[in-house]
Amino acid sequence: MTTTFEPPQPSALPAALDFGVRNIPAPGHMGVDYEARVDFHRLREYRLGRAIGSLEDSGCGAFLLFDFYNIRYTTQTWIGGALGDKMSRYALLTRDAKPFLWDFGSAAKHHKLFAPWLEQDRCRAGMLGLRGAISPEAGLLKEAVSTIKGLLTDAGVADEPVGVDIVEPAFLFEMQAQGLKVVDIQQHMLDARSIKSADEIMLLSQAAAMVDGVYQDIVDVLKPGIRENDIVALANKRLYEMGSEQVEAINAVSGERCNPHPHNFTDRIIRPGDQAFFDIIHSFNGYRTCYYRTFSVGSSTAPQHEAYTRAREWMDAAIDTVADGVGTDQVARLWPKATDLGFASEMDAFGLQFGHGLGLGLHERPIISRLNSLDHPVEIKNGMVFALETYCPATDGVSAARIEEEVVITPKGAEVLTRFPAQTLFVANEY
């Protein structure tokens, strides 16, 4: 027997959270009794309801999820990235909206104690082999698939397709060997995650506010003699002090390393007159930032200002354009071609003039670039949150400007979440 799930009605939003009327808050880290802030029960209801809606639209009997962002979205659980990416955590979502979760060892018992929204008998320890470190010959994959098939049989959907987001080949082959029809449903889950609730948007806003503060710390110390890795260490320390759940990456790029963009950091010593840009990627309660800022150190040059002005013009044109109903192709056409930046192809320049969704994952819907958007546009919708990135090399051959803003699409247009000043080139500790 199959059961059709009717998602619970979301709790009514107070007027303070009507983002079509008011600005988006960064409400702080605490839950309080005197203001409407993030409602985690409402957040869990929303995410599970969106996932079940995608399941029902997919034609599948169940979703089997290995992507740890999808697992968090449907089960509202998380453990550290060192274990979360080993393909041993997985969840089974059926139409009764009571997911099964197989987690790493004692984490399953912890969830039984601290995650009461999960059914006790559906929260289980699991192990598939740590990305092949335990050979398939040990039988763990065969046993897991047999268990999953039994649960699908009990739910009356064993003959229907099973949707999988990402999977190891050995596990896929075992599913097929046991007679399960496997289809790809990552697109369905990304669609579900693309429209954010008010609670998700507040968490994204809070994450951005934390980075606002880190950039103030950076400009205070951005002087000749400091190294790129010193800035990375400072940013990590401050973010964790402010309550970051995970600092995923910090790019720190300066001087001659700015052009072309290397997407990393080194121990290079920053010198007078350098241009330097940074990207801070972290998560607060699972919700991520991707937030570039560019500075000159002590002094600046005309080529640096010219490059920054162009990058800012491309950014402002994109922000002015993004809105409900706009196609991502319309945004991508506002940005220069790869050949205009000195690259042979759009593949070579991918990520320099770029937009990407933000949420539990760093790269969600929509992805905006000349590489994919011109021929395969996606419609931008209210409730989407994404980052817009522009890059312009300077005529001096070494400097470059990199700007990134995070925006929320609301009925009144795009609202920018990233607030550290970026309209003109910021010269840190000017002489």
| Cis amide prior to 366 (ω within 30 degrees) | yes
Q: Which residue type is seen at 201?
A: I
Per-residue pLDDT of the chain (431 residues; tens, 9 = 90+): 444 545 444 455 666 566 666 789 898 888 888 988 999 999 999 999 999 999 999 999 999 999 999 999 999 999 877 777 788 899 999 999 999 999 999 999 999 999 999 999 999 999 999 999 999 999 999 999 999 999 999 999 999 999 999 999 999 999 999 999 999 999 999 999 999 999 999 999 999 999 999 999 999 999 999 999 999 999 999 999 999 999 999 999 999 999 999 999 999 999 999 999 999 999 999 999 999 999 999 999 999 999 999 999 999 999 999 999 999 999 999 999 999 999 999 999 999 999 999 999 999 999 999 999 999 999 999 999 999 999 999 999 999 999 999 999 999 899 999 999 999 999 999 99
How high is the pLDDT of residue 16?
57
**How far apart (Å, rounded) are the C-alpha atoms in residues 399 and 200?**
36
Exposure letters 101-112 (e unless 16+ CB within 10 A, then b):
bbbbeebbeebb
The count of other CB atoms within 10 Å of the CB of residue 176 is 12
**How far apart (Å, rounded) are the C-alpha atoms in residues 188 and 54?**
6
> Burial level of 387, CB count in 10 A (0-12/13-18/19+)?
buried
Domains of the chain from N-terminus onward: 39-193 (3.40.350.10), 195-428 (3.90.230.10)
Q: Which of 356, 238, 252 is nearest to 294 (CA)?
A: 252
Helices within 32-116 (DSSP H only): 40-58, 68-75, 81-84, 107-114
